[in-house]
Amino acid sequence: MNVLEFSEARKAEIADLVTKYPNKQAVLLPALHLAQAEFGYVSDEVIHLVAKTLDVAPSLVQEVATFYSLYNRKPVGDYIIQVCQTLSCALRGAESVIRYLEGKLNVHLGETTADGKFTLVAVECLASCGTAPMFQVTARDYSLNAYYENLTEKRIDEILDELRKRPVRQAAQMTPLTTHSLGGH
Amino acid sequence: MADAPRILLDFLDDDRSWTLESYRKRGGYKALEKALKMEPVQIMEEVKASGLRGRGGAGFPTGMKWSFLAKNDRPKYLVCNADEGEPGTFKDRLLLERDPHKLIEGMIISAFSLGSKKSYVYLRHEFELGFQRMEQAVNEAEAAGLLGDNILGTGFSHHLVNHRGAGAYICGEETGLIESLEGKKGQPRNKPPFPAIQGVFNDPTVVNNVESLAVVPWLINNGGAAYKAVGTEKSPGTKLFSVSGHVKKPGVYEVPLGYPLMDLIDKECGGMLDGMSLKCCIPGGSSVPVLTAEECARANLDYESMNALGTFLGSGGVIVIGEGTCVVDMLANLSRFYAHESCGQCTPCRDGTNWIHKVVDRIEKGGGRRQDLADLLDLSDNIMGKTICALGDAAAMPVIAFIQKYRHEFEEHIEKGRCPYKPEYAVAHAAAGR
Amino acid sequence: MPTLTIDGKQVTVEAGTTVIKAAHGAGIDVPFYCWHPGLSIAGNCRMCLVEIEKMPKLQIACNTVCSDNMVVHTQSDKVKKARQGVQEFLFANHPLDCPVCDQAGECKLQDYYMQYDLKPSRMVDRKTRRVKALPIGPYVVYDAERCIACSRCVRFCDEISGSKELGIFERGDNYYVGLAAGTELNNPYSINVADICPVGALTNRDFRFKMRAWYLTDHESVCTGCSRGCSTKLSENGNTIYRTLPRDNEQVNQYWMCDDGRFVFKRELGPNRLLAPSTRKGADVRETGWDDALDALYAALRRTVNEHGADAIAAVGSNQGSNEEIHLFSRLFRDAIGTRMVAGKSDIGSEGYQVVEDEILIKADKNPNTTGLRVFGNLDTDASALVKAIEGGKVKVLVVWGRGFDRVLGDRAPALLEKVELVVHIGAHEPAHRADLVLPTTVWAEKEGTFTNFAGVVQHFGRAVRARGDVRDEVDVFAELLRRFGAAAPAGAEAAFQEAAQKIPGLAGLDFRGLGETGVKIESVPVLAS
């Protein structure tokens, strides 16, 4: 297994977070976000690193990393476009937004564009129902994490153009492991 | 609503409403000064007197919830539930982004009353802007001596931590939230013990919704009785309603409880989209039973009126649906949501939500069988009231209501072997992305 | 002490008792999957829902504490429908692979289907497919499709073994029990998760596909792997033992046992068994009948006493033997022959064990009856004086019982035993040392008896299988020799135990048939000077 280390800055951030809680485990969710920002996704190595950092069992970290939808267990593109598909957005054209993006990016839901720039996913309610249809764009390094609301095809084109020009920090390279992972699907 | 007080939405005209300066201009932190001179129990009495009911969805009286907090030597925690995720609801996000100081002031006052030195605001991670604004507001408040050690020189100290989630609807359930805050999967706890006795980090905890806590400064400034005078006898005060769907002006509106639903749609929201008439409305977030157009005409937005119509005020997420929309399609969309968001802990919810989604989706896609409707109702009954938390009920209630009120549309799907609605009205087919 | 009513029956329980325990205590069946008396309450299966008057919703019996005047209904229509609903939900994605499932016959899903469901499933849509037959450790295999996410295995690893390897990953219907990458379920107690898995999701790799559960007969036993003496049962069919399972015993092992203990039967019943009495001279082995063998031994012992005095006879006891055997062994050599050269301990060491000792169950003393040796045999002596006597050429006849002495002597055995005229071996297994006369005996699983564990709990074990060959129980061997010395001797383990209980201070009142399933703790274990 590759040995990963947090950068000194991340270590300091985590140490600071720990002071805000009565125990280290409470920092698990924020620490996984920091790890994801640094390493690009929550790999098996990241799970062991976070477990070691917070003195908790790796199985617990993996439970948390797989329970929440915002942790990526596989590599993703520079930007994850998360289209809300729940009822209020669906009533106002979420499906059209998805179809438009699929055509424009030449991917299906769940896939990453060939140039590694965009990963397209459909997500559940983002509490932006009054400004539907909408999506959230999260940069892999968390340098951007914004809502784009009241979408039209023209607006989507503009957003994609802006994002194409915007750089994202490359994540530390990691080799995926062969593991016991079972996978639900 | 010119005659009703603006208790929460007093910031809409200010384009820098999230700053301490703006909040001060609106009388911000006056309530804190006043409250810190009161006895903690007096504050609780004002909250009780106001009749404020929890605005997260359950509607449990806030003052009573506070009074259950264990009286012992353990540390006490106040936790703000800012994990807004009930489909159709987006009011808390507005408060977090546009008026964070109101929430913070409400939390400090509440914490003083509860004897809590530490509070956490559990924000869903998607709320990046809300989080940034809350962080900024905490920093401003600390710098101004309004938060932190020895607040306003009174000797009372309180620290507030913004804590971010990671994507799970179930963390809006208060014990799921507590588990998540402890660094675990957000799986709700069996009750008892209730959080007031054993909450976060096993210590006594009060969990309140953003909107509930944001009301507190007004209650201190104006008194519980003034709040009680607004709204109806049993549903006092104003409430934020998030309106979405087929209306001209969707958005967040503050109206006194008891306000007619159709006035909200027609006056506040400017009516239905052009060329559309009202088909139905889900009045309290996606989990509550749908109201037909005819029922909407009789509906007032307060707890009792909603119950009388067999539904709930819930979180105040009003989803307005126009004619031409397929209810089977809508239910397929919602049942996918609940199957996706079930935490997987208890049997009826984990297996039931998934099963229901499979059946409803099959009916929508033309593979329905006559037996399916009876099965769906029975499966829903086998979930209702039998799960660890309310997500089971939330998943079952829409199924029951949609089938009861629109059975003919389900039957039409089954008989024709296809969805009879035009594809441009399709809402659920985005399901492929799950 | 609240008094409540369950199904019309008045029940008074200790304060703090849960409804499920109160019901079970009153003989009322409340079904459950996730609840386990040795684990924390998860309340996730929802099978134990009961109706409690004045409560609007059904309540889970496992997490509801009894209160005074509570009125509980476990058989109402509402309760029955809820159970049926839970059953149907659990079956929604569960494969109907009972014919190839090891759990069949002892599966809660099957049992409760027969009791509470008995309806065909209404599920017509595609079932969720998951991983099957995945080895997750050296002893346990996982089938995700059969898993009902009760979390018993996860709680076991968190709360009992403390190893925390397992988690339930993903959420909703995508759940599966898993391990963090690069780890495996390899703690000293791992097989317990297969025992407590209420369905066929976790099974024991060693037992898997060996025998259908309904062909097995469970025999009450005690583990001989260490001085803990876990209460066990040996599952047998056709005179073959297939597995060891722990039995509940609050004062000894709660609900668990270690992995090493599971396999003791293989070591004991397995290779190197002696099948007939024999006399040996080097490689020349001659089988003899028992009467001839015992006569020869008696004659040798008699002659040695007469010619060299009793101390020329040395005897090595065994803390692998039962209380009854130890009692008669002690009587034979101490009282009837009168030698002072009697050693007690002849320990089996921890070679081959995964774990020497821990804070959970495993004890460093790998012998089941070291306390019995002291209490029932007054044999708290080790072999040092005896070895010295052999070295000095003072021992003419050496009787070694069991195989622990091999370890005491080690490499010195050939040279030391050269100094002894007659070496007699009494035991079930081929000795490592020279033996001129061999008397083959049964192992614990082949007979009845009692052991006294490290804490002084005297437990009964029963016979699981019949011994092969012309072998005898030690109780019979020692009794026969006693009689040849003109002493009265009890017939069989029960009589030997009763005799010991009468004779030995501190054991008064102990009754062989009164030990029950979980044993009796000797109030004060007499500590003798060694």
State how far residue B169 is from chain A, nearest Cα, in angstroms. 9
Contact state of A124 with B186 under an 8 Å Cβ cutoff: no
Question: What is the complex's ipTM, to 2 decimals?
Answer: 0.94
Contact: B168, C171; criterion CB under 8 Å: yes
What average pLDDT does range C319-343 have in this prediction?
95
pLDDT at B427: 57
Nearest by CB to residue B339, choosing from C58, C125, C173, is: C173
- If pLDDT is split at 50, 70 and 90, which confidence band does A179 have? very low
Cα–Cα distance between B271 and C58 in angstroms, integer? 43
Using an 8 Å Cβ cutoff, are B253 and B243 in contact?
yes
Query: Confidence band (pLDDT; 50, 70, 90) for A1?
Result: low
**pLDDT, tens only, B378-416:** 999 999 999 999 999 999 999 999 999 999 999 999 999
Q: Indicate the SS3 state at residue C463.
A: coil
Omega of the bond leading into B398 within 30 degrees of 0 (cis): no
∠ CA B47-B51-B53, nearest 5°, is: 95
Percentage of chain A beyond pLDDT 90 is 88
Least Cα distance to B80 among B253, B230, B251, B209 occurs for B209
CB contact under 8 A, B430 and A83: yes
- C304-328 burial, b at 16+ Cβ within 10 Å, e below that, comes to bbeeeebbbbbbbbbbbbbbbbbbb
What pLDDT is attached to residue C185? 97
Q: pLDDT at position C353, please?
A: 85
Token reading at C226: 């260490």
Point out which residues pair with C418 in neighbouring strands: none
Residue C18 has pLDDT above 50, yes or no: yes
- Confidence class for position A172, pLDDT limits 50, 70, 90: low
Contacts with B388 from chain C: Cβ below 8 Å: 43-44
Determine the pLDDT at residue B424.
Answer: 53
Which residue is closest to C179 within chain A, CA to CA? A59
Local confidence band at C300 (pLDDT 50, 70, 90 cut-offs):
very high
* CB-CB under 8 Å, A184 with C128: yes
Q: Does A21 touch chain B (CB under 8 A)?
A: yes
- Does the pLDDT value for residue A185 go beyond 60? no
- Lowest-pLDDT choice from A164-178, B120-134, B382-396, C138-152: A164-178
3-state SS, residue C277: coil
Two tokens, residue C184: 């495996």
Query: A29 and B325: CB-CB below 8 Å?
Result: no
The secondary structure element, H or E, covering residue C267 is helix C264-269
Chain C residue with the nearest C-alpha to that of B339: C172
CB–CB contact C86 B385 (8 Å): no
> DSSP state, C467?
P
The CA–CA distances, whole Å, from B353 to A47, B300, B338, C48, C79 equal 30, 31, 6, 20, 21
Triad C151, C205, A59: Cα angle to 5°: 35
pLDDT digits (tens, 9 = 90+) for B6-52: 999 999 999 999 999 999 999 999 999 999 999 999 999 999 999 99
3-state secondary structure of B373: helix
DSSP label at B280?
Answer: E
Polymer length of chain C: 530
CB–CB contact A180 C184 (8 Å): yes
CB C283 within 8 A of CB C447: no
- What is the model's pLDDT at position B423? 65
CB contacts, 8 Å: C166 with chain A = 59
Q: Which residue has the tokens 């229901």?
A: B356
Q: B149's torsion region: left (phi>0), alpha (psi -120 to 50) or beta?
A: beta
Which residues, listed in sequence order, are joined to residue B148 by a DSSP beta bridge?
Answer: B158
Is C239 in contact with C227 (CB distance < 8 Å)? no
Q: pLDDT tens digit string along B338-391?
A: 999 999 999 999 999 999 999 999 999 999 999 999 999 999 999 999 999 999
Asked if C184 has any chain A CB less than 8 Å from its own CB, the reply is yes
User: Tokens for C326?
Assistant: 């130890």
Task: In whole angstroms, give the CA distance from residue B257 to residue B252.
Answer: 14
Task: Measure the CA–CA gap between C11 and B294, rounded to whole angstroms.
Answer: 53
Q: Are C117 and C92 in contact (CB under 8 A)?
A: no
For C85, which of B341, B342, B348 is closest by C-beta distance? B348
Please give the C-alpha separations between residue A184 and each of B139, B295, C173, in angstroms, as whole numbers: 43, 42, 8
Nearest CA in chain B to A64: B185
Cβ of C88 and B382 within 8 Å? yes
Distance CA B123, CA B82 (A): 5
Write out chain A residues lying below 8 Å of C180, CB-based.
Answer: 44, 47-48, 51, 57-59, 61-62
> Which pair of structure tokens corresponds to residue C259?
């992995």
pLDDT on residue A183: 34
Residue A146 DSSP SS3 = strand
Please tell me the distance in Å from C317's CA to the nearest CA on chain A.
Answer: 47
Closest residue of A to B168, CA-based? A68
Which chain B residues have any C-beta within 8 angstroms of a chain C C-beta? Answer: 168, 185, 190, 192, 339-348, 350-355, 358-359, 362, 369, 371, 375, 379, 381-383, 385-388
Residues in chain A: 185
Q: Would you call the peptide bond into A133 cis, given omega within 30 degrees of 0 as the criterion? A: yes
Degrees to nearest 5, angle at CA C189 with C131 and A49: 65
HSE (side-chain half, CA atoms, 13 Å) at B278: 24
Averaged pLDDT, B193-197: 97
Q: Looking at CA atoms only, how far is residue C43 from chain B in angstroms?
A: 7
- Summarize pLDDT for A86-121 with one digit per residue, the tens: 999 999 999 999 999 999 999 999 999 999 999 999
Q: How far apart are CA C276 and CA C293, in angstroms?
A: 10
Cβ-based contacts of A185 with chain C (< 8 Å): 174
Answer yes or no: do C165 and A177 touch at CB < 8 A.
no
Question: Would you state the pLDDT for residue C79?
Answer: 97
Cβ-based neighbour number of residue A90 at 10 Å = 27
Min Cα distance C5 → chain A (Å) is 41
Per-residue pLDDT tens digits for C25-70: 999 999 999 999 999 999 999 999 999 999 999 999 999 999 999 9
Nearest Cβ partner of B88 from A71, A123, A129?
A129
Encoding tokens for residue C165? 């390897």
Q: B425 near B412, Cβ under 8 Å?
A: no
Q: State chain A's maximal CA–CA distance in angstroms.
A: 49
- Residues of chain A with pLDDT > 70, as a percent, come to 91
Best of C45, C48, C173 to mutate (most B CBs within 10 Å, chain B): C173
Paired with C263 in beta bridges are none
Q: The sheet that has B291-292: what strands, in order across it?
A: B251-256, B238-245, B317-322, B278-282, B291-292
pLDDT digits (tens, 9 = 90+) for C467-494: 999 999 999 999 999 999 999 999 999 9
Interaxial angle between packed helices B391-416 and B347-364, expressed in degrees from 0 to 180 and rounded to the nearest 10:
20
One-letter amino acid identity for C387?
V
Amino acid C291 reads: D
Q: What are chain B's partners, defined as 3 or more CB pairs within 8 angstroms? A: A, C
Interchain contact, A66 vs C136, CB within 8 Å: no
Residue B228, Cβ density class (10 Å: 0-12 exposed, 13-18 middle, ≥19 buried)? middle
